């Protein structure tokens, strides 16, 4: 029995705006002035409902800038938010990262955020002609653990046109190292 009440309350909570619009229309028939006031209050409440989402996005951006690499599960734990909510926000950020300094990738069914310094170090190693293993060794201080991460970063940067052609190829770099 209590579950039915919870479901009813959640349904009303999700559709409060529709219920209020119907109520305003009914009231407008008999008392138009009161309906105008209720419409104004409804619009203000509707606009106020967007504020928590905006605050979370700003808080998330500030939080992400503190880490060189962080995964979505850790973010969800730190914010005490549902993992799906965090993944939704990271997905939105990943769709608009063409001109951003950071990088968000999707690897092994999770989103991973990489800070600007991590990406710049990756680009430097890539342009010098380092192979994936050498780039991984160079990025160990930024907590990169696998070559798959390096590969996904490279593919994502290429897809976003944020990675230029290599100045030195891997073959040229390895020959320089061998004969130097």
Q: Are 36 and 87 in a shared domain?
A: no
Q: Are 168 and 106 in a shared domain?
A: yes
Q: Is residue 56 one of the residues assigned to a domain?
A: no
Q: Are 45 and 100 in a shared domain?
A: no
The 10 Å Cβ neighbour count of residue 124 is 12
Q: Three-state secondary structure along 36-90?
A: HHHHHHHHHHHHHCCHHHHHHHHHHHHHHCCCCEEEHHHHHHHHCCCHHHHHHHH
Q: Are 45 and 88 in a shared domain?
A: no
| Residue 131, pLDDT score | 83
d(CA 129, CA 78): 38
Q: Are 163 and 89 in a shared domain?
A: yes
- DSSP secondary structure of 142-159: GT---HHHHHHHHHHHHH
Q: Are 94 and 167 in a shared domain?
A: yes
| Residue 171, pLDDT score | 67
Mean pLDDT per 10-residue interval, the chain, length 180 residues: 67 73 89 90 82 83 89 91 89 87 90 92 86 86 86 88 75 69
Helix (H) or strand (E) holding 178: helix 170-179
Q: How many domains does the chain have?
A: 2
Q: Are 79 and 168 in a shared domain?
A: yes
| Residue 13, pLDDT score | 66
d(CA 114, CA 144): 9
How confident is the model over 67-102, as pLDDT tens digits? 889 999 999 999 888 898 899 989 988 888 888 888
Say if residues 20 and 39 touch (Cβ distance below 8 Å). Answer: no
Q: Are 16 and 84 in a shared domain?
A: no
Q: Are 28 and 88 in a shared domain?
A: no
Burial zone of 133 (CB within 10 Å; 0-12 exposed, 13-18 middle, 19+ buried): exposed
Give the range of the structural domain holding residue 158, as residue numbers without chain letter: 66-173
| Residue 30, pLDDT score | 92
Q: Is residue 76 one of the residues assigned to a domain?
A: yes
| Residue 74, pLDDT score | 92
Closest CA to 150 of 163, 133, 162, 166: 133
Among all chains, which residue has been given the structure tokens 């993944």? 87
| Residue 127, pLDDT score | 85
Both structure tokens of 168: 């030195």
| Residue 111, pLDDT score | 92
Q: Are 44 and 74 in a shared domain?
A: no
Among all chains, which residue has been given the structure tokens 């201080």? 141
Say if residues 101 and 116 touch (Cβ distance below 8 Å). Answer: yes
Q: Are 103 and 153 in a shared domain?
A: yes
Q: Are 73 and 31 in a shared domain?
A: no
């Amino acid at each position: 029995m209590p579950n039915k009440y919870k479901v009813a309350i959640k349904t009303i909570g999700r559709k409060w705006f529709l219920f209020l619009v119907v109520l305003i229309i009914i009231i407008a028939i008999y008392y138009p002035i009161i309906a105008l006031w209720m419409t104004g209050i409804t619009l203000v409440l509707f606009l106020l409902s967007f504020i928590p989402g905006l605050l979370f996005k700003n808080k998330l951006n500030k939080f992400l800038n503190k880490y060189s690499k962080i995964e979505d599960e850790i973010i969800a734990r730190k914010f005490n938010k549902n993992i799906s909510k965090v993944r939704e926000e990271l997905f939105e950020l990943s769709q608009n990262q063409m001109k951003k300094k950071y990088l968000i990738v999707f690897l092994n069914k999770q989103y991973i955020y990489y800070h600007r310094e991590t990406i710049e170090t990756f680009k430097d190693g890539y342009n010098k002609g380092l192979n994936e293993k050498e780039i991984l060794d160079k990025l160990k201080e930024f907590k990169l653990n696998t070559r798959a991460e390096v590969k996904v970063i490279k593919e994502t940067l290429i897809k976003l046109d944020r990675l230029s052609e290599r100045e030195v190829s891997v073959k040229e770099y390895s020959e320089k190292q061998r004969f130097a």
